[in-house]
């Protein structure tokens, strides 16, 4: 099973949460340690692991309860969405030239599966109805040229060769001419691979790139090499400028480090993955499917998603009722501010209010900071105080106590109370506008 070790490493994280009721700062310490260990064992690069663990912890502590969903299931869901993000979110498709021929330049160290990828790629394109031609520009290994010719025959695509005496950039140029004559949609150029990066290899690649002006420059990397693959992508990108990576040998006992590190470390997407030696074993890299495979918990994920949907729906309805009756209290306030997702929707709501204009990222950050301060004040309120903000509006003594318990100033508490009342008015007005009525400001 692909990434089996990583999958079982993560399982021990969920297991640490069995029997817990909610996710807290304290009870996620152990699971987070397991997650960290599993990722490091999978050979994910350390800075990536750090950022990942940080992001997951922050979300886990801030996440609201979802009825029927257990904390371990919630954590699975959070880890899943962070894994997807880590791998670039959306699938990154191959680009094709808007007009004329699409040129794909392939680079990579020896033995990573570059020659195989050339043939697989032309087969992949063929299935999409695109014709392609292979160009053998690896002049240092006659065997590599022969291999490309054989594979080309196997998948039924022409291979342009010019022996080993012609400069690679010249072969590339001639190959491109040939492809034009043959009216091929795509030209795939195989370049020389060395055992390790060296200056002449980089120079040669630069020259070939200049000669071709390629649509895609893809570095082929071996998944078995883990975070080293990510480092290679970074280096090649800095040296010659690439558009993405192709990750091979994902079928072997690779541990996942490459798949999880490439994007975050290099900033470049993995576009395709090789999952076997057969010609059909090349497919797009889907971050969400990959994350799903790593977790191996498809049913849990869809269950949590459904539960979240139901919650959102019910919350929205309840909130609307409250707003309409101007009963929006500190509990609602807190609910609204507890998750980043909800924060997003709140800033959108604020942005809709006439006269408030557009909300900038800096404003959102400031808002998030002040929301943290508000949270700490609301947390020390009694249930009655939360439900009846009027109590706080009327009593300086209560405000003083809340200031003391939350470590904030009395002025901050007063501001919070005032803000809640302003919010009521704004929201009520907003609902009024949305209902097609005139907004009115009720007396407080």
Q: Work out whether 277 is an interface residue with ligand GDP (CB under 6 A).
A: yes
**What whole-number distance in Å separates Cα of residue 431 and Cα of residue 437?**
8
User: Residue 65: how many CB atoms within 10 A of its CB?
Assistant: 13
**What whole-number distance in Å separates Cα of residue 270 and Cα of residue 387?**
51
Smaller CB separation from ligand GDP, 60 or 112: 112
Q: Work out whether 271 is an interface residue with ligand GDP (CB under 6 A).
A: no
**What whole-number distance in Å separates Cα of residue 251 and Cα of residue 308?**
34
**What whole-number distance in Å separates Cα of residue 328 and Cα of residue 313?**
17
Report in angstroms how near the CB of residue 109 gets to ligand GDP at its nearest.
Answer: 7
Smaller CB separation from ligand GDP, 53 or 231: 231
**What whole-number distance in Å separates Cα of residue 441 and Cα of residue 422?**
10
**What whole-number distance in Å separates Cα of residue 139 and Cα of residue 88?**
35
Q: Which of residues 157-196 bind ligand GDP (CB under 6 A)?
A: 193
Residue 98's Cβ-count burial label (10 Å; 0-12, 13-18, 19+) is exposed
**What whole-number distance in Å separates Cα of residue 33 and Cα of residue 172?**
50
Q: Work out whether 389 is an interface residue with ligand GDP (CB under 6 A).
A: no
Q: Work out whether 142 is an interface residue with ligand GDP (CB under 6 A).
A: no
- Pick from 274, 323, 378, 402 the residue near ligand GDP by CB under 6 A: 274
**What whole-number distance in Å separates Cα of residue 105 and Cα of residue 84?**
27
Number of residues that bind ligand GDP (CB under 6 A): 18
Q: Work out whether 31 is an interface residue with ligand GDP (CB under 6 A).
A: no
Q: Work out whether 251 is an interface residue with ligand GDP (CB under 6 A).
A: yes
Q: Work out whether 225 is an interface residue with ligand GDP (CB under 6 A).
A: no
- Pick from 5, 12, 81, 110 the residue near ligand GDP by CB under 6 A: 110
Q: Which stretch binds ligand GDP (CB under 6 A): 163-171, 268-276, 303-311, 421-429?
A: 268-276
Binding mask 341-380 for ligand GDP (x = CB under 6 A): ----------------------------------------
Cβ(285)–Cβ(272) below 8 Å = yes
Applying CB under 6 A, the residues found at the interface with ligand GDP are 108, 110-116, 193, 248-249, 251-252, 274-277, 281
């Amino acid at each position: 099973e692909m990434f089996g070790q990583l999958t079982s490493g993560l399982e021990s994280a969920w297991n640490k949460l069995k029997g817990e009721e909610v996710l807290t700062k304290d009870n996620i310490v152990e699971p987070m340690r397991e997650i960290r260990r599993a990722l490091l064992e999978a050979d994910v690069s350390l800075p990536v692991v750090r950022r990942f663990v940080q992001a997951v912890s922050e979300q886990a502590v801030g996440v609201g309860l979802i009825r029927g969903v257990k904390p371990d299931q919630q954590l699975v869901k959070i880890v899943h969405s962070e894994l997807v993000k880590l791998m670039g979110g959306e699938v990154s498709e191959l680009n094709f030239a808007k007009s004329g021929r699409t040129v794909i330049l392939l680079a990579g160290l020896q033995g990573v599966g570059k020659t195989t990828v050339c043939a697989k790629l032309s087969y992949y394109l063929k299935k999409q109805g695109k014709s392609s031609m292979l160009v053998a520009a690896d002049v240092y290994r006659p065997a590599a040229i022969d291999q490309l010719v054989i594979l080309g025959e196997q998948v039924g695509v022409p291979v342009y060769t010019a022996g080993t005496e012609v400069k690679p950039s010249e072969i590339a140029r001639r190959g491109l001419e040939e492809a034009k004559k043959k009216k091929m949609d795509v030209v795939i150029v195989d370049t020389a691979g060395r055992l390790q990066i060296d200056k002449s290899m980089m120079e040669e690649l630069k020259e070939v790139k200049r000669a071709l002006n390629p649509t895609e420059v893809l570095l082929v990397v071996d998944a078995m090499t883990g975070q080293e693959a990510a480092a290679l992508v970074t280096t090649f990108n800095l040296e010659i400028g690439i558009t993405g990576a192709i990750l091979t040998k994902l079928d072997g006992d690779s541990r996942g480090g490459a798949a999880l590190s490439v994007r975050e470390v290099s900033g470049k997407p993995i576009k395709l993955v090789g999952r076997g030696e057969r010609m059909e074993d090349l497919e797009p890299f889907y971050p969400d499917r990959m994350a799903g495979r790593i977790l191996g918990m498809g049913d849990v994920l869809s269950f949590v998603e459904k539960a979240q949907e139901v919650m959102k729906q019910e919350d929205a309805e309840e909130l609307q009722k409250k707003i309409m009756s101007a009963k929006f209290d500190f509990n609602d306030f807190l609910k609204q501010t507890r998750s980043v997702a909800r924060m997003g929707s709140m800033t959108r709501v604020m942005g809709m209010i006439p006269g408030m204009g557009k909300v900038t990222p800096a404003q959102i950050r400031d808002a998030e900071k002040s929301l943290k301060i508000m949270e700490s004040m609301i947390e020390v309120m009694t249930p009655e105080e939360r439900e009846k903000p009027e109590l706080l509006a009327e009593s300086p003594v209560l405000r003083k106590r809340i200031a003391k318990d939350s470590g904030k100033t009395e002025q901050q508490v007063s501001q919070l109370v005032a803000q809640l009342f302003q919010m009521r008015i704004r929201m009520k007005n907003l609902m009024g506008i949305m209902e097609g009525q005139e907004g009115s400001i009720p007396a407080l």
